[in-house]
Amino acid sequence: MSEHHASVTVNAPVHQVYTLFTHFNDFPKFMSFVKEVTYYDDQRSHWVAHIVKDHEWDAVNEEWIPDRQVGWRSIRGLQNTGKVKFSPNGPNRTTIDVYINYLPPAGAVGEFADRLGIDSHFDAVLQQDLNNFARMVEQAPPGALDPMQSHYLFHSDSAVAQRRVTSQQQVSMHNDPMMQTETLEEREERIQHETLAQQQAAQERKAVQEQQISQQRQAAMQQEEILRRQAERDRQAALEQQAAQAANPPEEREPHPVYDTLGGRNAAMERTVLGDRDARVERFSNYQEGPMTARAPTQDQDAPTPVADIEIESPWSAVRQSKVPESEEEREES
């Protein structure tokens, strides 16, 4: 038994993907290797697929779970079983996993042919057709549940476009109301109308983007012009100020005894708004008359007497006047 697996993620809700996939009869319209899917009833179907050569089988449905899984088992023809799982991957994304097991025809000869490369060829074809299904869903209108509403049907690689479908498939499509000439013409007209509307919408978006870019460029040029004019005005004002200073030089003045000295921080610097004012403030009102005189305290009767004028007896004088004991008796008495 040969086992195969393919997977794809579709940008559509799981219910829409499940419903579109179960339209088996539409597979030849977008798949390349499925040449026929016709129904016996709601549980049995007939398949013809081209893998190196044509293979046919009748299948019966098994293990169907709405919006989650479909399965089948062949009851005649090529022995195979299959299962397709639908896993929601967010509100508008669905992952599809296809599992197919089949018994190669002609016994040992078929198994040998699989080893020569038919097996890998089937994997590639299965993945390609699964990708075609994803494109078919994504090119259908949002919420569409009928493959005939998709723009991707009958693309150049499909079995219908390549005229590889069986006569039974052609009869089935001829009896399908969606395949009638008038319906197909309406479908083609709708597709052209939608394509034209999409092109117009794209052109309108492009025009809006170009207009926005033009407005941004114009605003940038206006801002640049404003800055250029302001720079020119500033330059003219600076030139006029320089000319005025050259025509009226500042008068020389005598140095200030406090502000123009080197006695304090920034003392010899000009007064500025942000400068340090500590060295520019006269600490004594009569500092200019005499610094030492200004610092001398005023004579006040209530003022305390200077320490130098008070007779203070030294504590060491008592020590000097005391008599030092000469003998042990005197020391013991003391």
Q: What is the DSSP string of 205-263?
A: HHHHHHHHHHHHHHHHHHHHHHHHHHHHHHHHHHHHHHHHHHHSPPPP-PPPTTTTSSS
Q: Which two tokens stand for residue 162?
A: 């390549």
Contacts of 197 (CB under 8 A, 6+ apart): none
pLDDT of residue 268: 47
Spell out where 78-213 has E strands: 80-88, 94-102
Other Cβ atoms less than 10 A from the Cβ of 176: the count is 13
Query: Global pTM?
Result: 0.61
The rounded distance, in Å, linking the Cα atoms of 106 and 87 is 36
**Spacing of C-alpha 51 from chain mean position:** 44
Question: At residue 38, what are phi and psi to the nearest 5 degrees?
Answer: -125, 155
* List of domains in the chain: 2-176 (3.30.530.20)
C-alpha 179/C-alpha 7 separation (Å) is 30
Residuewise pLDDT in 10s, the chain (334 residues): 788 999 999 999 999 999 999 999 999 999 999 999 999 999 999 999 988 789 999 999 999 999 999 999 999 999 999 999 999 998 899 999 999 998 876 654 455 455 556 778 888 999 999 999 999 999 998 999 999 999 999 999 999 999 999 999 999 999 999 898 899 999 999 889 988 998 999 999 999 999 999 999 999 999 999 999 999 999 999 999 999 888 888 777 776 665 565 555 444 455 555 555 555 555 555 555 555 555 555 555 555 555 555 555 656 566 555 555 556 665 666 5
pLDDT at residue number 224: 95
pLDDT of residue 306: 58
Q: How many alpha carbons fall within 13 Å on the CB side of residue 186?
A: 9
Is the CB of residue 198 less than 8 Å from the CB of residue 139?
A: no
Measuring CA to CA, how many Å separate 179 from each of 27, 32, 149, 183?
14, 19, 12, 6
| Confidence at residue 265, expressed as pLDDT on a 0 to 100 scale | 47
How far is CA 212 from each of CA 173, 209, 218, 319, rounded to the nearest angstrom?
A: 50, 5, 10, 104
User: Could you give the CA distance from residue 102 to residue 73 in angstroms, rounded to a whole number?
Assistant: 10
pLDDT number for residue 326: 58
